[in-house]
Amino acid sequence: KAGVTQTPRYLIKTRGQQVTLSCSPISGHRSVSWYQQTPGQGLQFLFEYFSETQRNKGNFPGRFSGRQFSNSRSEMNVSTLELGDSALYLCASSMDSPTGELFFGEGSRLTVL
């Protein structure tokens, strides 16, 4: 069974640019969540999507957005990049049950110069 796949794995951008990250969940999983991981703040919840609808949202500015497609694949976008957006962005998928395990991908490492 294939795991959560994230692309690209590494990318470098400059301040002011925008970036789009992609996530393919485990087959059959309809819930997709995104997290940001930095050395200073640790892992922080960005947003969660289920059936193409944003179900939960963390405390991030509006520059961070996401969407989910009908095949459950998800993308997140960060506009007007800032140096502080440099982080590992992790996507996770799960079955739609409160006790369902969250499976993480290996992440997309974004460096903003």
Partner 1 sequence: QKEVEQDPGPLSVPEGAIVSLNCTYSNSAFQYFMWYRQYSRKGPELLMYTYSSGNKEDGRFTAQVDKSSKYISLFIRDSQPSDSATYLCAMSPTGANSKLTFGKGITLSVRP
Q: Where does this chain bind partner 1 (CB under 8 A)?
A: 4, 31, 33, 35, 41-45, 48, 55-56, 58, 90, 92, 94-95, 97-107
Nearer to partner 1, 59 or 70 (CB): 59
CB of 69 to partner 1, least distance (A): 20
* 28 neighbors 95 (Cβ within 8 angstroms): yes
CB of 33 to partner 1, least distance (A): 7
Q: Confirm if 105 and 5 have CB atoms less than 8 A apart.
A: yes
CA distance linking residue 99 with residue 94, whole number of Å: 10
Query: Least distance to partner 1 from the beta carbon of 36, Å?
Result: 11
**Cα distance between residue 65 and residue 77, in whole Å:** 5
